[in-house]
Amino acid sequence: MKRPHYLIGAMAAVIVLAGLAGAAVLLRPGGGSRAGGGVQIGGPFALLNGAGKTVTDRDFHGRFMLVYFGYTHCPDVCPTTLSDMATAVDKLPKASRARVVPVFITVDPARDTPAIIGDYAQAFGSEMVGLTGSDAAVAAVEAEYHVYAAKHPLAHGDYGMDHSSIMYVMGPDGGFLGVIGDGTKPAEIAERLLAFGA
Amino acid sequence: MRLVAGFFWLAATAAGHAAPAVAVSDGWARATLPHQDEGVAYLTLRSAGGDTLTGVDSPAAGMVMLHQTTQKNGVSSMEDVDSLALPAGKDVALAPGGTHLMLMDVKHALKPGDTLRLSLHFSKAGDVSVSVPVLPVSATGPRK
């Protein structure tokens, strides 16, 4: 699979690190927003949910998205982060909880079919939405979010995916609000969501 | 030695002689979904005199690899680890986001409530067999 976004990914990683270090992120209203380096994060997408139905960014407008990119054959960091996301959303006050959708987007569409990503996301509860799509559709959303993803060969001809491991917070208008690093405790994720206005 | 939850810690038998034992605690495996042929297990090891974990087998998996999750510039990756040194008297924790036992070619889906048998190979203590509980896919630690 071609992933022509390595440079952008590296830039995004720098921006993300800056964000984690507490650097100010300049917010702009509207779909997608510019972060400190003038880089747009987020934007329109058309992907498939667990039922194989097309879901676009507009379907989430009016709610906050807590977005994580990963893959279901990822045994360690993905389930840990997704579990933290689900726990965090469950910790929110009821009204806020209804406004936040945890979203898991695969970086491995070759293996993560709609049914697989749907079942997997559902296993974490909190009405987590799992999304996949064609290689092109997934590559497009990765590019918009400046996600780095690349195959990494493992024993037995198997492969893992190296991937950006960051939670993105998107506002009700689809605009980028900020990032939360993986490894952040659920209570702190919940606090950050509330601070973003959820 | 740390208090071990006895209900899952079945046995830690050194291979038939008075080899220095390795204490195994806080073991657990994450449930897998039917399509998943990879799984993961975590545990904490402690050797009084120092030892090295050189390999792991499980009847439930074609192969068990020692893997380390690494993070660089916000990108998560997995690296193979050949062996794991156990400094004398120190807990070495295999835990989410760090070193883990990656189960390849899992033969049957691991369901919450199942137990997973692991055979740990140490250079001094020999083979140590343990059984660890399978916890839900959303578990992040042994006590959830």
pLDDT-flagged residues of chain A (< 50): 1-15, 17-31
d(CA A142, CA A85): 20
pLDDT for position A32 = 54
**Mean pLDDT to the nearest integer, B84-113:** 95
Question: Measured on CA atoms in the order A169, A105, B93, B31, is the torsion positive or negative?
Answer: positive
Return the number of CB contacts < 8 Å for A and B.
103
d(CA B84, CA B103): 17
pLDDT for position B12 = 44
**Mean pLDDT to the nearest integer, B25-50:** 94
**Mean pLDDT to the nearest integer, B89-99:** 95
pLDDT for position B84 = 97
d(CA A113, CA A106): 9
In order of A13, A14, A67, A114, A131, the CA distances from A104 in angstroms are 19, 22, 6, 12, 6
pLDDT for position A27 = 39
Q: How confident is the model at residue B74 (pLDDT cuts 50, 70, 90)?
A: confident
| pTM attached to this predicted model | 0.82
**Mean pLDDT to the nearest integer, B54-65:** 96
Q: List CB contacts of A173: < 8 A, sequence separation 6 or more.
A: A29, A30, A31, A61
pLDDT for position B122 = 97
Count Cβ atoms within 10 A of the Cβ of residue A24 and give its class: 0-12 exposed, 13-18 middle, 19 or more buried: exposed
Interface of A with B (CB under 8 A): 9-10, 12-14, 16-17, 20, 72-73, 75-77, 79-80, 82-84, 86-87, 116, 119-120, 123-125, 148, 152, 154-156, 158, 160, 162-166, 181-183
pLDDT for position B9 = 43
Q: List CB contacts of A108: < 8 A, sequence separation 6 or more.
A: A71, A72, A73, A149, A161
What mean pLDDT is reported for chain B?
A: 87
Q: List CB contacts of A33: < 8 A, sequence separation 6 or more.
A: A26, A27, A40, A41, A42, A175, A176, A177
pLDDT for position A184 = 95
d(CA B21, CA A9): 47
Q: How confident is the model at residue B96 (pLDDT cuts 50, 70, 90)?
A: very high
What mean pLDDT is reported for chain A?
A: 85
d(CA A83, CA B56): 27
Beta-carbon separation of B138 and A83 below 8 A: yes
Q: What chain A residue is nearest to B100 in terms of C-alpha separation?
A: A76
pLDDT for position A53 = 98
* Residue carrying structure tokens 């806020």: A96
pLDDT for position B78 = 87
